[in-house]
Amino acid sequence: MSQPHPHEPDQQPYEPYDPYEPYEPYDAHPAYEPPAAPRRTRRPALVAVTLLLLLVLAPVAVDRFLAVQAESRAAKAFQQGMHTPLPPEVHVHGFPVLTQIAAGNLRDVDVTAHDIPADDTTSALPVSELSLHLAGLTKSDDDRQARARSARATARLTYTDISDALGLAVSRGSGPDRLKATVALPLGNSVTATTTVSAAAGNRIAFKDFEVTAGPLSGPADAVLDKAFAQPLQLQNIPDGLHLRSITTTETGLSAYFSGASVTFHAADTAQNTATGVTPSRLPT
């Protein structure tokens, strides 16, 4: 067998030349791609919106803060004047409150007080709840009194307190203006009578037209009824200018409605009575 010559190249298989090999066509005008637009930032717009909200909300927040402060001071003053165990609820209405405080005139004020005690005088009635609406509330220069251009008030008196003041048990009668009174007699007997309740001059609650509806009217029972209903029940120390307009009976007691103009509230240490009157020591400013 012959051996390849050491100088002869290795034999490779023959591959014919293809002059038509595939090629990529040359694009002399490639598609134009515009440069990317610069990214816009939203920070200036966000800052502008934030500043706008601050400009709108900041005065509202400041005014609300001043209103809360005024309501808190008013609640303490009314509590001192009415000797309530807890500060009453006070709401100063209207916007802005700042201008009202600066002018020394609160346009509309609502006050709701609970458990106003009576003084030690005979037949004085404690008030379970007093709701006041004051319009045009101003104060004196020495802060010793406040005056409302007009005022409306509703005082709620419980049957328990009325019974203690009259000396006999009373409850709601058959109509919106009638009370039912029961007088206990010996041997377990009792007499029941009804009476009309109404507003009388001088902020008094009057009882009239009473009639016996059940039980024998004995001498002692008649004397008790006469003593209880003969004289009107005085509501003492109502603020000057506030007048009792009407009395109605409810399931829980009497509802007394007051109204008046140029109503004055004296400071607690100068007011002589606080049975149902409101006597704040200072007007909030």
Residue 133 above 90 pLDDT? Answer: yes
Tell me what the pLDDT averaged over the chain comes to: 77
pLDDT in tens, 67-114: 888 888 878 877 877 778 888 899 999 888 888 888 888 999 999 989
In a domain, 81, yes or no: yes
pTM greater than 0.85 (yes/no):
no
In a domain, 5, yes or no: no
120 is in which domain, residue-wise? 49-266
The pLDDT value given to residue 255: 95
In a domain, 43, yes or no: no
Q: Judging by beta carbons within 10 Å of its beta carbon (0-12, 13-18, 19+), is residue 244 exposed, middle or buried?
A: buried
In a domain, 190, yes or no: yes
In a domain, 28, yes or no: no
The total number of structural domains in the chain stands at: 1
The pLDDT value given to residue 67: 81
The pLDDT value given to residue 84: 83
The pLDDT value given to residue 57: 58
- Give the number of C-alpha atoms closer than 13 A to the C-alpha of residue 156, restricted to the C-beta side: 14
In a domain, 137, yes or no: yes
pLDDT in tens, 244-273: 999 999 999 999 999 999 988 776 544 344
In a domain, 19, yes or no: no
Residue 229 above 70 pLDDT? Answer: yes
DSSP per-residue string spanning 258-276: EEEEEEEEE-TTT-S--SS
pLDDT level of residue 276 (50, 70, 90 thresholds) = very low
**Rounded Cα gap, residues 94 and 245, in angstroms:** 28
The pLDDT value given to residue 39: 59
In a domain, 111, yes or no: yes
Residue 41 above 80 pLDDT? Answer: no
pLDDT level of residue 199 (50, 70, 90 thresholds) = very high
Encoding tokens for residue 269? 């240490």
pLDDT level of residue 3 (50, 70, 90 thresholds) = low
DSSP per-residue string spanning 123-164: T---EEEEEEEEEEEEE-TTSSEEEEEEEEEEEEEEHHHHHH
User: What pairs with residue 249 in β-bridges?
Assistant: 254
182 within 8 A of 214, measured Cβ to Cβ: no
